[in-house]
Amino acid sequence: MGRTSIDGLAVRSSGSKPVSAASSRRVVGDVVVPARRRTAPRAERHTRDNTTDDSSIQSTSRSSVALEDDFLAPVESFTDDSNNSFGAMDEAAWSELLDGFGDSNSKRSDDLGLQRHNTNTEQPSERRRRQTQNIDETEKPQPSRRERKKQKLPKKRRFKIKHPILLTIMIVLVSLGVTGFVWGDSLISRLTNGKSGIFSAIGAMISNEIPFETDEHGRTNVLVFGTEGYNMSGAMDYVDRDDADGVHDGANLTDSIMVISFDQETQDVAMISIPRDLKVSMACSVGKINEVYWCHNRNGDDEEAGALALATQLSEVLGIEFQYWAHVNWGALADIIDTIGGITVTLNEDINDKYYTGTVIEAGVPTRLTGLQAVALARARHGTLGGDFTRGNSQQKIMEGIVNELTTNGVNLTEAFSLMNILGDNFRSNFSTDNIKAGVKMISAFNPTLMRNILLVDYINNVYYMTTATINGISYVVPQAGAGNYTAIHQYMDQILSSNPAVREGAQVAVYNGTETTGVAAGEQGKLEADGFVVSGIGDTDTGSCAEKYCVYALTDNMPATQAALAERYGVEIRSASELPADIYPGVANFVVVVGQAETE
């Protein structure tokens, strides 16, 4: 192995192949250093690297490592020559210089071959492999924006309930929700006779209000009938409390029949009671109206058929059209009244039914009743002036007392749920959920003083549209004009259910002519009757007895609606009875109208 002398420094050759001085070393000052290996330009090397496959890349990497080792071998084999002229340099300086040449992790500079430390400690082979990997990655297709967005989104974590108390609460809430849904759906279905459910109720709550259906006069007529001694499922759990055997002998007989007629616009409400012994044509046994429902409901299997048959029969009696019906179990009346804390009633006549129902109440005295006492009053007919007529009037007073209690004191949440449960078992109707919503709104703003009790027989005020009769040994109630003759009753209903309050008061007006023109009183009579007023008679009075066009005289103070209507109609101030001309004899009239000036053509 040959030697090469560099100013006294002995250098051992790295291999058997001779290296020329021009290519293997260069002179920097007084020091001969190995020449750098020439490399291809960056662009050329990048092009070559891109065209090589994986095997060529690995081969090139191995060759680079071998060249590095061959290059450093001559430097690492330097030996100290005691005859050189650099003896003045200490051994530490030479060691530092040689260490710089032999450091494969250093970046070489062109100035004196001294090393420049590089912070990048990456090996050449690793750097080559990383560059190749980057090139391969650039050739791969780039993901779309949606795919990059999906890659950035965090994975959804599945919700898990680890706390047992929380799980228990959630189960309880879900169970309550399901139970409430089933209960509410069943309740609404029962109240509406299967026509509506919970979803219909929700829809009605969020929808606009739908008014009740009306007749040609703008009124809504509801048939309300009650049976006693059983609930709507047929069970005998509501019994006659005064019967020693505890069983009612006519559970399907409608011993309570009532008509509720109201005007949604004016909130005028009228209640009319129908005697249970009224003789009618659609009955199937002894011919009384309380049999009609039982005769047509097919032994309880078709409640709607029985209700519609009873409504048809009553339309014939009263001359009005029914839009709705409601079936109430009067046996549950005690529970309803006890739930709201009792009611207060004021009767029009004395009742002394001590030995049958135990009811003793003085007329005109407000009386507080419990549920059981109210049921007894609803059935009391002995010790009264009107018998079964009084019984019907008392039932109206009970209904009025319930409405007064609800509108005055209201109900709390517990009472509301109790009432709904009671009604769910003891109330059926053809009301829809929209009707129930409208009814609740109407009751919430209702003034109980506007409720009127209409009597077909009133012993106090001498009202006799019906009477009693015995036919073939059976006691009946028939119209005053005779069995099956309902003409007078129809006329009374037209008056009492009129939208005109003056007409409803039933005032009678007498008309007198105070002019020299003939036929004036008759002409005014026709105008009044066309507007619904009842004219009791016409006549003439002294000319000049009325200096104005019209003079109106009120002979009673008990008809304020009629008095106000006449004052507005004629544009005058109503005069008292003491001012009435002396030659006028009004008879049964409540008001007198004198025409002082005739109409001119």
Which residue stretches of 227-369 are H helix?
292-296, 303-318, 333-339
For residue 504, which of 493, 515, 514, 489 has the smallest C-alpha distance?
493
Contact (Cβ atoms closer than 8 angstroms) between residue 312 and residue 295: no
What pLDDT is stored for residue 10 in this prediction?
Answer: 47
In DSSP notation, 129-146 reads HHHHHHHHHHHSPPPPHH
Residues 515 and 385 in one domain: no
Contacts of 346 (CB under 8 A, 6+ apart): 364, 365, 366, 367, 397
> Is residue 196 in a domain?
no
| Predicted confidence (pLDDT) per residue in 146-193, tens digit | 666 666 555 555 555 556 666 566 666 665 555 554 555 555 555 555
Residues 131 and 276 in one domain: no
Residue where the block lists tokens 């047929």: 234
Residues 510 and 442 in one domain: no
What pLDDT is stored for residue 216 in this prediction?
Answer: 87
Residues 372 and 415 in one domain: yes
Residues 272 and 408 in one domain: yes
> Is residue 481 in a domain?
yes
Residues 584 and 481 in one domain: no
For residue 248, which of 283, 287, 290 has the smallest C-alpha distance?
290
Amino acid identity at 504: R
Residues 486 and 521 in one domain: no
Give the end of a domain, one of 88, 110, 139.
139
CATH number at residue 401: 3.40.630.190
Structure tokens at 399: 């209904």
Q: Exposure pattern of 412-449 as b/e (b: 16+ CB <10 Å)? A: eeeeeebbeebbbbbbbbbbbbbbbbbbeebeeebeee
| Predicted confidence (pLDDT) per residue in 522-569, tens digit | 999 999 988 888 899 999 999 888 989 999 999 999 899 999 999 999
Structural domain for 334, as ranges: 208-496
Contacts of 571 (CB under 8 A, 6+ apart): 550
What pLDDT is stored for residue 424 in this prediction?
Answer: 72
Structure tokens at 428: 């059926």
Give the end of a domain, one of 465, 496, 527.
496
Residues 432 and 513 in one domain: no
Strand-pair category, 220-227 with 324-329 = parallel
Sign of the dihedral defined by the CA atoms of residues 235, 238, 243, 246, in that order: positive
For residue 540, which of 601, 581, 590 has the smallest C-alpha distance?
581
What pLDDT is stored for residue 242 in this prediction?
Answer: 43
Q: Exposure pattern of 473-497 as b/e (b: 16+ CB <10 Å)? A: eeebbbbeeebeebeebeebbeebb
Contacts of 472 (CB under 8 A, 6+ apart): none
What pLDDT is stored for residue 82 in this prediction?
Answer: 47
> Is residue 150 in a domain?
no
> Is residue 341 in a domain?
yes
> Is residue 557 in a domain?
yes
> Is residue 28 in a domain?
yes
Ranges in the chain, pLDDT < 50: 1-33, 43-44, 46-54, 56-57, 59, 61, 65, 67, 75, 78, 80-88, 103-118, 181, 199, 201, 204, 230-248
> Is residue 191 in a domain?
no
The length of the chain is: 601
What pLDDT is stored for residue 115 in this prediction?
Answer: 46
Residues 486 and 564 in one domain: no
Residues 491 and 583 in one domain: no
Give the end of a domain, one of 117, 139, 161.
139
Residues 258 and 378 in one domain: yes
The count of domains in the chain is 3
What pLDDT is stored for residue 420 in this prediction?
Answer: 76
Residue 184 φ/ψ, nearest 5 degrees? -65, -40
For residue 532, which of 556, 573, 555, 566 has the smallest C-alpha distance?
566
| Predicted confidence (pLDDT) per residue in 228-238, tens digit | 754 444 333 33
Residue 587 φ/ψ, nearest 5 degrees? 70, -125
Contact (Cβ atoms closer than 8 angstroms) between residue 269 and residue 451: yes
Q: State the pTM of this model.
A: 0.60
* Positions of E strands within 68-214: 107-108, 115-116
Residues 252 and 393 in one domain: yes
CATH number at residue 580: 3.30.70.2390
Spatial separation of the C-alpha atoms in residues 399 and 406, rounded to whole Å? 11
What pLDDT is stored for residue 98 in this prediction?
Answer: 56
> Is residue 489 in a domain?
yes
What pLDDT is stored for residue 12 in this prediction?
Answer: 47
